[in-house]
Structure 1
Amino acid sequence: MKTYRTRVGATAVLVSLVSLAPLASLGSAAHAGPSVPWVQAWGHNGAGQLGNGSTLDQQTPTSVRGLARGHVRELAGGGYNSTIAFAVALLRDGTVQTWGGNSDGQLGDGTRASRPHPAAVAGLSGVTEVAAGGYFAYAVRSGRVLAWGDNASGQLGNGTTTASPTPVMALPPGSGTTRVAASTSWTSSYAY
């Protein structure tokens, strides 16, 4: 088992993942038991960032509710303190799910209500890459970057400083973008 950690402030938010190499050697995700959660989370859980349906801290790994091992392609953890920490999961079908703190719309669900379990970001499909920052997140789709959440420093890239609780265009189609990254300590964004 490989362990990947994302630190948010002094809290380990995510993740312990079963190594993708053994999954690939099975030949089919169906053989990996798609009903068995493979994303594990532990640590502080004040905003529901562990995704297990509660806001109770976990000292041992717990399953993120509703994410089957064969369905997740990529994870990103955002937020820089334990009251706003959140997570973004890119699923193999190109859709995106988020959970945790949502003070600035960083879950992309059109609200500012925190959520202790994964749910879809409406309207996002065909996504190939995700990233999470302090209070904001990104998705790459067809060479364009979509962004949502806090925008006090213009980190959504849409020419304003107005927050958006739903995805907005940061880089247009044809930009050739395939990867994005975001800073959790500062409000910097990167795309290439």
Structure 2
Amino acid sequence: MAAEEDVRMTEVTGPFRQVLFISAAGNIVCSWGRGEDGQLGHGDAEDRLRPTRLSALDGLDIISVTCGADHTTAYSLSRTEVGDFGRLGHGDFSDLFTPQPIKALHGLRIKQIACGDSHCLAVTMEGEVQSWGRNQNGQLGLGSTEDSLVPQKIQAFQGISIKMVAAGAEHTAAVSEEGALYGWGWGRYGNLGLGDRNDRLVPEKVSTLNGEKMNMVACGWRHTISVSDTGRLYTYGWSKYGQLGHGDFEDHLVPHKVESLADSFIKQIAGGWRHTMALTSDGKLYGWGWNKFGQVGVGDNADHCSPVLKVVQVSCGWRHTLAITEEKNVFSWGRGTNGQLGHGESADRNVPKIIEALSVDGSSGQQIESSKLDPLSGKTWVSPTERYAIVPDESGQTVHSGKGNGGDVSVPENDVKRIRIFYLD
């Protein structure tokens, strides 16, 4: 890497099992971790155990990146990954292994993007919201449960300027410029904050905040986190593993203040699959919830709520966590099975470890490899639909359906699992 290139971290995002970061200048994007669906953007379906420069985005002045379950999106709006349910926004179900512009968003000035399990949203500078992808529970907010192959404007926000959106697995939340909080999509665990367990097909305003205006919102898999203008932290939804931080394991159907952090001013929040992280204005990082792989980062595998590092930014994956310190060092911890911790190995870690390749106290980007895709090589990759088989449940039954997935087999969430097929030459 050339000496004049600025590789200091400006943003890191690590939902699910892949991680991306952007350099301070916006001219370098690196990705690592799980890549079997092409979500790393290197033109192949391989995992990366260390940060690897995403050459396809060189020179595009990338502002932000966001990860979904098996896909990635970035501005200037480019995106990569598997196309099930139209989540890539290109108007078809095609898989993509390198970033491609979303033509339907050309001409729109995007200020923020969010990715759920299989759906995506974009907020424009004018406060409008576009959504696309999977929509079986109404998470697109379009008034139906039909998947959308291209971005569509959420008409329910007509006359309402949206500040930001957040996406869970199958639900969505938003905060308006006026400080109102909204929820829609899958609501079984109260994660919409509307006082019940019902789904919503269009955004609905949360009315139980006692006049407090919200400033930001984030989503875990089935829980939601929000912060008020006064820095108070609220959580609601699923709490089987204590991820709401209220000292119990009870679901909450409306936002509840996290009393243990009532004296702290929260400046950033992140939701993992079953854990939550919060960063205070004085640089203390708190984590709680599911800690099987050490993703809370306090040296063991028990649930905790205690300071970890002096940090300036935090991001949660489904089972791992990343943080940037004041000294511009990058740390990661938790599940590492796909290399998503960036240490060149597949080991789990229950205490934070510095990612040498991205940190000032490490090699400062001097040892980052670039994508090695040769478009003239003729090399091809097995598509995701060919790399998986259906495993029946105990009764031996499976359900086959071509609806909404381009003719592929539809895998019932609770009945079957996907396994990877390894082809031997």
TM-score, shorter chain, exceeding 0.5: yes
Poorly superposed stretches of 4+, deviation over 4 Å: none
Secondary structure at the residue paired with 1:66?
A: helix
Distance 1:16 1:114 in 2: 21
Distance 1:64 1:48 in 2: 12
Distance 2:113 2:178 in 1: 24
Residues 6-35 of structure 1 deviation map (CA, whole Å, 9 limit, x = unaligned): 3333x2x121333x3xx5xxxxxxxxxxxx
Instruction: Point out which structure has higher relative CO (alpha carbons under 8 A, 6+ apart).
Output: 1
Amino acid at match of 1:8: G
Distance 2:231 2:123 in 1: 28
Of the candidates 166, 170, 181, which is equivalent to residue 96 of structure 1? 181
Aligned residue number for residue 215 of structure 2: 128
Residues 154-187 of structure 1 deviation map (CA, whole Å, 9 limit, x = unaligned): 011000000011111224432121221111xx21
Identical positions, percent: 28
Amino acid at match of 1:145: L
Once the two structures are TM-superposed, the CA of residue 38 in structure 1 deviates from its matched residue by 2.0
Matching of residue 17 in structure 1 with residue 123 in structure 2? yes
For structure 2, list consecutive stretches of 5 or more residues without a partner in the other structure. Answer: 1-107, 280-425
Question: Relative to structure 1, is the Cα distance of residues 166 and 182 closer, same or farther in structure 2, using a 3 angstrom cutoff?
Answer: same
Distance 1:180 1:69 in 2: 28
Matching of residue 177 in structure 1 with residue 266 in structure 2? yes
Distance 1:70 1:166 in 2: 22
The worse-fitting range, judged by mean Cα deviation, of 150-159 and 37-46 is 37-46
- Structure of larger gyration radius: 2
Secondary structure at the residue paired with 1:180?
A: strand
Question: Relative to structure 1, is the Cα distance of residues 87 and 139 closer, same or farther in structure 2, using a 3 angstrom cutoff?
Answer: same
Of the candidates 104, 115, 124, which is equivalent to residue 7 of structure 1? 115
Aligned residue number for residue 30 of structure 1: none
Of the candidates 127, 132, 157, which is equivalent to residue 245 of structure 2? 157
Amino acid at match of 2:193: G
Q: TM-score, normalising length from structure 2? A: 0.37
State the superposition RMSD in angstroms: 1.9
Distance 2:112 2:264 in 1: 30
Distance 1:45 1:76 in 2: 15
Question: Relative to structure 1, is the Cα distance of residues 132 and 69 closer, same or farther in structure 2, using a 3 angstrom cutoff?
Answer: farther
Question: Relative to structure 1, is the Cα distance of residues 8 and 70 closer, same or farther in structure 2, using a 3 angstrom cutoff?
Answer: closer
Aligned residue number for residue 190 of structure 1: 277
Amino acid at match of 1:116: L
8 Å contact kept, 2:136–2:147:
yes
For structure 1, list consecutive stretches of 5 or more residues without a partner in the other structure. Answer: 24-36, 80-84
Question: Relative to structure 1, is the Cα distance of residues 69 and 78 closer, same or farther in structure 2, using a 3 angstrom cutoff?
Answer: farther
